[in-house]
Chain A
Amino acid sequence: MIYRESGQFKTSYAADQAMFPIRQDRIFIALLLVAAVAVVPVVVSEYAIRSILMPFLILSIAAIGLNLLLGYCGLISLGTAAFMAVGAFSAYKLATGIPDLPIVLNFILAGLVTAVVGMAFGLPSLRIKGFYLAVTTLAAHFFVEWTITKFGWFTNYSPSGVISAPPLDVFGIAIDSTTEKYWFVLAWVLVLAVLAKNLVRSSVGRAWMAVRDMDVAAAVIGVPILKTKLLAFAVSSFYCGIAGALYVFAYIGTVEPQAFDLNRAFQVLFMVIIGGLGSILGSFFGAAFIVTLPIFITLAAAPFGGQIPAEVLSNLELIIFGILIVFFLIVEPLGLARLWQIGKEKLRLWPFPH
């Protein structure tokens, strides 16, 4: 009876339309925030922050981006990694070309560049859907990959194609310790998650979902289809672009196209499917799940004392992904987010299940 909304009567539409209408949810989120900002850097080892939390947070942004496009607007894309690459290289070119540009502004500009590229590749979505759109975005992926490796301009003519990212500083404060980078990334995650949540609960999100669910009816009620789809591509790509910039600047520290191969696109796609299509929270669940799964598999294999070869383990990972994807697509298309919600509904009735 701890998690209940009884007695919390909403007396205004504002309260009902709030981001977290239930008080317990608000408390939970507030605690989570305090923990993420203040407790984690103290309690969690630097190694764990660097190798688990950073990829989790950064890929969450990409997952939110793809979820806006696929989960909310119903447009499949395999271009996620390419858009991340566009963001990463735009940020790199901006940082080296205009050294005085504040990093926040730099990332926003990089996101905007990615948004424009995303819209260009989103144009075919007016005519094609589903599988064919997936193929078009796949072509976009290879096109971007080719362009970046082919033209030395993007890598400032570095012979190896691998360059270290310029150091980060925010308004003159250098961001170089792991904790500082963690806070920097966390700030982006929080802001972008809140903006995404606002979008999806507004007229913009309703237009996206309307197009996803029934495009003829959406058009008839006055939703401009092309504009709505292109906006979804733009916003989604903006998120992926920022994720890409953070990935190279705050996480791996080198700017290399290999960080954004097709596997990355599928990885983010799996995050969205497992986490929950059409859920911002689910994007976090999915990212957490996919980032930590290999660790759990390694832990589970530990008792066998290294008898299991590494290739088998990584194949095992793929097999588990495969099974889970099939499971979620067939049984629970709304993913972990839906399971979370069901859990909450159960909790709401507990301890009297009837």
Chain B
Amino acid sequence: MAGRRQFGEVILSVENIGLSFGAVQALSGVSLEVRKGQIFSIIGPNGAGKTSLLNCINGVYHPQQGQISFKGQMRARMEPHQAAAQGIARTFQNVALFRGMSTLDNIMTGRNLKMRRGFLWKALWWGPAEREELAHRAQVERVIDFLEIEAIRKTPVGRLPYGLQKRVELGRALAAEPEMLLLDEPMAGMNLEEKQDMCRFILDVNDEFGTTICLIEHDMGVVMDLSDHVVVLDYGRKIADGPPEQVRRDPRVIDAYLGAAH
């Protein structure tokens, strides 16, 4: 599919960002542009700075250098909930669900931003407040149907197997109806069948809702199949940027991966 699809304007632009933790330079001079509707993959060896890059994009980390703009809006210092309000949702490399809550409540939390009624209304659970909760419940049920997790609706997520936890986490992000979805190794630790399901969900989300997707993934087969565009990081620097078939042949990429394997 890569290269054959047409994409809209640039939705996210990262310009020359640098991020360090003390002596560790996690990112240096990284720039990239993600277009609306793309499946954009970020790959690279362990410790290359992939997660750090996502963390900068949605305001968990604040890069010391460079700028990030989303939907044409430049941001100085953005907090995660502001990024969420702008339409960025995400999943984490290590499942970051709300362990004490059920699947349903986890996914419902994804819609909190869309709820308008304040806490006094919610305390009364009456009229508009109840209608709002129920309307959002209906939306969440659509996400639950889409991800085929009806049976675990009421299960506390701590009791779910790992693969399902990752799926619920995707559900929580989807419930926010994001314009851009950041996925940090959504298939890590999954078996083949679970991976295929996850790939299908990602493609469907991208296809049906036009959601732009930023994906970190180690499985090269998956990356080559899904991506419209690939960026490769190594030691915090961008070493390749292009369509998957071009990146795959790039000698620097092959070097980085072979180097990492040794």
Chain A: residues with CB nearer than 8 A to chain B?
13-14, 16-17, 19, 195-196, 198-199, 201-204, 206-207, 209-210, 212-214, 216-225, 231, 235, 278
Which of A195, A212, A217, A224 gathers most chain B CB within 10 Å? A217
Using known A-B contacts A206-B112, A214-B97, determine if residue A220 contacts B125 with beta carbons closer than 8 Å: no
CB-CB < 8 A to A222: which residues of B?
A: 81, 84-85, 112-113, 176
A contacts with B: majority SS: helix
Decide if B96 touches A214 in the complex (CB within 8 Å): yes
A13 to chain B: closest residue by CB: B137
The distance in angstroms between the C-alpha atoms of A280 and B84, with both chains bound, is 31
B residues 127-166 with Cβ under 8 Å of A? Answer: 129-130, 133-134, 137-138, 141
Known: A198-B124, A203-B108, A213-B101. 4 other contacts (CB 8 A): A17-B134, A203-B122, A209-B100, A220-B83
Q: Which 8 A-B pairs have the closest CB atoms?
A: A222-B84, A222-B113, A213-B98, A202-B122, A198-B125, A217-B96, A219-B80, A195-B123
On chain B, which size bracket covers the interface?
35 or more
The distance in angstroms between the C-alpha atoms of A207 and B119, with both chains bound, is 11
Decide if B90 touches A199 in the complex (CB within 8 Å): no
Decide if A217 touches B97 in the complex (CB within 8 Å): yes
- Judge if B28 is at the interface, Cβ distance under 8 Å: no
CB-CB < 8 A to B113: which residues of A?
A: 221-222
Decide if A202 touches B109 in the complex (CB within 8 Å): no
CB-CB < 8 A to A201: which residues of B?
A: 125
- Judge if B188 is at the interface, Cβ distance under 8 Å: no
A242 to chain B, nearest CB (A): 14
B11 to chain A, nearest CB (A): 18
Q: Which of B96, B115, B134, B176 contacts A203 (CB 8 A)?
A: B115
CB-CB < 8 A to B85: which residues of A?
A: 222
Decide if A223 touches B119 in the complex (CB within 8 Å): no
Which of B80, B96, B138, B173 gathers most chain A CB within 10 Å? B80
Using known A-B contacts A195-B123, A222-B81, determine if residue A13 contacts B100 with beta carbons closer than 8 Å: no
CB-CB < 8 A to B92: which residues of A?
A: 217
Using known A-B contacts A195-B123, A198-B123, determine if residue A14 contacts B130 with beta carbons closer than 8 Å: yes
Decide if A212 touches B134 in the complex (CB within 8 Å): no
Decide if A220 touches B58 in the complex (CB within 8 Å): yes
Q: Which of A13, A198, A219 contacts B122 (CB 8 A)?
A: A198
The distance in angstroms between the C-alpha atoms of A17 and B80, with both chains bound, is 30
Q: Which of A17, A204, A212, A225 contacts B100 (CB 8 A)?
A: A212
Decide if A214 touches B99 in the complex (CB within 8 Å): yes
A216 to chain B, nearest CB (A): 7
CB-CB < 8 A to B112: which residues of A?
A: 203, 206-207, 210, 221-223
B21 to chain A, nearest CB (A): 16
Using known A-B contacts A202-B125, A213-B101, determine if residue A221 contacts B110 with beta carbons closer than 8 Å: yes
B residues 65-122 with Cβ under 8 Å of A? Answer: 79-81, 83-85, 89-90, 92, 96-101, 105, 108-113, 115, 117, 119, 122
CB-CB < 8 A to A212: which residues of B?
A: 98, 100
Using known A-B contacts A220-B80, A220-B90, A222-B113, determine if residue A199 contacts B123 with beta carbons closer than 8 Å: yes
A331 to chain B, nearest CB (A): 17
CB-CB < 8 A to A221: which residues of B?
A: 84, 89, 109-110, 112-113, 172-173, 176
B109 to chain A, nearest CB (A): 5
CB-CB < 8 A to B173: which residues of A?
A: 221
Using known A-B contacts A212-B100, A214-B98, determine if residue A202 contacts B133 with beta carbons closer than 8 Å: yes
Using known A-B contacts A216-B60, A219-B80, A223-B112, determine if residue A210 contacts B133 with beta carbons closer than 8 Å: no
CB-CB < 8 A to B89: which residues of A?
A: 220-221
CB-CB < 8 A to B124: which residues of A?
A: 195, 198
Using known A-B contacts A213-B101, A217-B92, determine if residue A199 contacts B84 with beta carbons closer than 8 Å: no
Which of B92, B110, B119 gathers most chain A CB within 10 Å? B119
Q: Which of B90, B98, B122, B133 contacts A209 (CB 8 A)?
A: B98
B100 to chain A, nearest CB (A): 5
A213 to chain B, nearest CB (A): 4
Decide if A223 touches B90 in the complex (CB within 8 Å): no
CB-CB < 8 A to A210: which residues of B?
A: 98, 101, 109, 112
B226 to chain A, nearest CB (A): 23
CB-CB < 8 A to B130: which residues of A?
A: 14
Decide if B119 touches A199 in the complex (CB within 8 Å): yes
The distance in angstroms between the C-alpha atoms of A213 and B165, with both chains bound, is 15
CB-CB < 8 A to B122: which residues of A?
A: 198-199, 202-204
The distance in angstroms between the C-alpha atoms of A217 and B83, with both chains bound, is 13
The distance in angstroms between the C-alpha atoms of A202 and B123, with both chains bound, is 8
The distance in angstroms between the C-alpha atoms of A223 and B111, with both chains bound, is 10
CB-CB < 8 A to B117: which residues of A?
A: 203
A204 to chain B, nearest CB (A): 5
Decide if B60 touches A213 in the complex (CB within 8 Å): no
The distance in angstroms between the C-alpha atoms of A252 and B128, with both chains bound, is 41
Q: Which of B83, B98, B108, B141 contacts A218 (CB 8 A)?
A: B98
Interface 0/1 of B37-70, CB less than 8 Å to A: 0000000000000000000001010000000000
